[in-house]
């Protein structure tokens, strides 16, 4: 079965929308479905006829819930405006340098107000006459069927967005290239009133465009994709204090694993919780995603909200999950005191990670985290004792362990939806360094010994499941009765 080619179609809109939502470049999508990158470009320009098998593969890779397949079946005509030319699409990457890309999002509980500000440089030999921008919505991430049905009933309407782009503070015209219920692709005309180019070779310009979308249409997420070489990318997200939103951010990779973003800060100012983040010289096609939810003390009125599983809770809090091979890498030791500032930064980031986790889960056994679990493969561990005191172990190694062991359930932030019984020594002697590089030795007993051994294993790429007996099995949280409870140990000789 093949589909008839039409220059502008519902299929093209669906393909571009779901590729945009997932953050895949044409090259990445081509690699995942097994075709040439040029073919994806041909599909999106309406110049190629996809086979049924390819459409199904694309739908599966983009996790579109059948939306791409359905759009291909219904492929019958399109909108009046012509697609962007290949020259315009190439201009998105070739010849364009983005000095600064800053996205502002504000939410008052009813309406999202989004503004994009970009300083672009024409590094090519020809004037840049147009610039392509996109608006995508996905009301229920993780549930494409429900999102698709919802957006068919509540489509994204350009007339309601208040879209008004400017170039160097001058209003510019635009036209709609693709018009889907959940996806818009817009061509900005970078020309003055008489058609003269606004950005000649070597020229620079400030582009700004914004829009307003109701919470009924916009989901609880914001995604930024590095489409052109970008020196600085920044995000500022503001929520009314009364909403009590908790936000997290992570970078998506081509393997669908995710790494938490660093330097996500929050300040309270004039009745708003303001989150800020920025990165320098991110790789092209990098995808940065930010998600938010009311904290546990606030009821979420969204009856269709996808419940946070234990895994999603940890991922949202910035914890690297078990499908990421980073957890199997051996962490690099710090050269102290030469790397003092970097070490301080890593320890600060691990402490903030535990602060975030404490807001979403009550830890009855204390807390521990290794730097690799927030995406940093350096030899640092943080143990937060029952007293609330933080104990930082830099370049730790276990130099002695007791013969006496015991078997207890353990959990791991990187696969928090299960627990497993592991034999550990009841005491361990650990050598580590302070920030000045001095070596210290400390002995840990019982629960503290278990936590330290667990985290030091992470630095060697070892998970607790590697140490489980073949007779043991992983227990799902629904069967585990020890949440919020401390380990129990017999009194007497250790």
Residues classed as catalytic: 455
Query: Can the peptide bond before residue 13 be classed as cis, meaning omega within 30 degrees of 0?
Result: no
Rounded Cα distance, 40 and 59, in Å: 13
454 is in an annotated binding site: yes
3-class DSSP assignment, residue 293 = strand
- Phi first, then psi: give them for residue 252, nearest 5 degrees: -85, 145
Helix, strand, coil percentages in the chain from 3-state DSSP, rounded to 5: 25, 35, 40
Question: How many residues does the structure list for the chain?
Answer: 494
Rounded Cα distance, 365 and 385, in Å: 9
154 is in an annotated binding site: no
Instruction: Name the residue among 256, 260, 249, 255 with its Cα closest to residue 375.
Output: 260
Rounded Cα distance, 265 and 257, in Å: 23
Rounded Cα distance, 235 and 264, in Å: 9
**CB atoms inside a 10 Å sphere around CB 438:** 10
384 bridge partner residues:
367, 390
List of long-range contacts for 340-346, beta carbons under 8 Å, 24+ apart: 340/435, 340/436, 342/378, 343/378, 343/380, 343/394, 343/435, 344/435, 346/371, 346/376, 346/378, 346/380
For residue 173 the two structure tokens come to 């015209």
Rounded Cα distance, 237 and 108, in Å: 11
458 is in an annotated binding site: yes
For residue 441 the two structure tokens come to 């030795």
Question: Can you say which residues are annotated as belonging to the binding site for Fe cation?
Answer: 412, 454, 458
């Amino acid at each position: 079965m093949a589909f008839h080619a039409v220059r502008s179609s519902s299929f093209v809109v669906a393909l571009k929308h779901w590729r945009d939502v997932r953050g895949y470049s044409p090259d990445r999508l081509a690699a995942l479905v097994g075709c040439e990158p040029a073919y994806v470009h041909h599909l999106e320009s309406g110049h190629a006829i996809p086979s049924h098998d390819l459409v199904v593969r694309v739908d599966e890779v983009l996790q579109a819930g059948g939306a791409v397949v359905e759009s291909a079946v219904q492929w019958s005509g399109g909108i009046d405006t012509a697609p962007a030319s290949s020259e315009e699409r190439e201009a998105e990457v070739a010849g364009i340098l983005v000095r600064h890309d800053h996205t502002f999002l504000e939410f008052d509980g009813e309406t999202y107000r989004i503004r994009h500000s970009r300083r672009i440089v024409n590094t090519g030999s020809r004037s840049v006459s147009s610039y392509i921008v996109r608006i995508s919505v996905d009301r229920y991430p993780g549930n494409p069927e429900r999102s698709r049905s919802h957006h068919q009933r509540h489509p994204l309407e350009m007339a309601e967005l208040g879209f008004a782009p400017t170039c160097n503070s001058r209003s510019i015209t635009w036209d709609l290239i693709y018009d889907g219920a959940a996806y818009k692709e817009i061509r900005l005309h970078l020309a003055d009133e008489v058609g003269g180019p606004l950005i000649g070779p070597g020229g620079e310009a400030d582009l700004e465009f914004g829009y307003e979308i109701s919470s009924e249409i916009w989901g609880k997420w914001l995604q930024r994709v590095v489409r052109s070489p970008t020196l600085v990318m920044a995000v500022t997200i503001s929520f009314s204090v009364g909403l009590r939103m908790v936000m997290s951010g992570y970078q998506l990779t081509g393997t669908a694993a995710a790494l938490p973003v660093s330097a996500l800060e929050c300040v309270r100012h004039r009745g708003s919780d303001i989150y800020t983040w920025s990165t320098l010289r991110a790789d092209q096609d990098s995808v940065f995603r930010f998600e938010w939810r009311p904290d546990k003390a606030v009821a979420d009125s969204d009856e269709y909200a996808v419940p946070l599983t234990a895994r999603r809770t940890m991922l949202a809090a910035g914890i690297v999950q078990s499908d990421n091979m980073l957890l199997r890498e051996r962490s690099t030791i710090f050269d102290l005191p030469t790397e003092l500032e970097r070490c301080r930064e890593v320890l600060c980031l691990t402490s903030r990670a535990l602060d975030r986790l404490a807001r979403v889960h009550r830890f009855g056994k204390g807390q521990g985290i290794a730097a690799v679990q927030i995406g940093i493969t350096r030899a640092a561990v943080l143990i937060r004792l029952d007293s609330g005191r933080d104990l930082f172990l830099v370049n730790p190694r276990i130099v002695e362990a007791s013969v006496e062991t015991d078997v207890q359930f353990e959990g791991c932030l990187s696969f928090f939806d299960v627990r497993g019984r592991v034999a550990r020594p009841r005491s361990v002697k650990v050598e580590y360094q302070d920030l000045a590089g001095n070596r210290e030795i400390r002995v840990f007993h019982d629960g503290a010994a278990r936590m330290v051994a667990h985290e030091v294993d992470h630095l060697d790429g070892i998970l607790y499941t590697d140490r489980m007996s073949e007779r043991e099995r992983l227990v799902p949280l629904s069967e585990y009765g020890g949440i919020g409870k401390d380990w129990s140990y017999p009194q007497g000789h250790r």
